[in-house]
Amino acid sequence: MPSKPVANVVLMTPEIPQNTGNVIRLCANVGARLHLVEPLGFRLDNSHLRRAALDYRDIADIVCHSSIEALLELFPVDRVYGAIIDGPVHYDSPKYLPGDAILFGPESSGLPDTVVARLHCRNRVRIPMKPSNRSLNLSNAVAIIVYEMWRQMGFSGTFSGSLPDPEFD
C-alpha cells in the first residue's frame, strides 16, 4: 500500500452505488484510503457509481476486502472506530491520528453487533441528531466524520500558499 493516508474509511457491504461514488470523491479529495468490504450490493463498474464518483475513481486509493476479519487484521484495535447510531462517544471527541480507521455499516442496517462488539467502547462514535430521526445518509455521515478527523490533523496535505483576502477583492 502507498504512504499512510489521512484516514482509512471502511464501507462494510455498501448497498447504494451513489453513496459509494460520493465517498470515493471525498476520499480522493482529503487523502483518505477507501476500503470496501464484500459483498458489495452493486458492481464496481455500475453506472450510478461512476456518475457519482465522476473522474475521481482513477485517483482514489481504493482497496477491496473479502471479509471484515481480513480488514480488521490490518489495524491495531485501538485505532479502529465504528460509526453507530447509539455510540456513547460524539464523533469529535476522539483524538484521531493519521491512518486511523473508521467503519460504516450497510445503509439498511448499520454495523452488525458482532463488529461493534470488537471495538473498544470509547471507539464507538455517533453523530448527534434529533431523537425522532433514524439516520443520516451514509455519504453525509462519512463526510462529517472524515472532515473532523482531517481537521484534527491540521488539514494536512492541503494548499499551503496564501489565498487572496476576500475582504480586499
pLDDT digits (tens, 9 = 90+) for 106-158: 999 999 999 999 999 999 999 999 988 888 999 999 999 999 999 999 998 87
Let me know: does 38 contact 6? Beta carbons within 8 Å: no
What single letter denotes the amino acid at residue 23?
V
Domain hosting 40: range is 8-168
Count the domains in the chain: 1
Does residue 34 belong to any structural domain of this protein?
yes
Domain containing 92 — which CATH number?
Answer: 3.40.1280.10
Q: Is residue 141 part of a domain?
A: yes
- The verdict on residue 80 lying in a domain is yes
Bridge partners of residue 61, in order along the sequence:
33
**Is residue 1 assigned to a domain?**
no
Residue type, 153: M
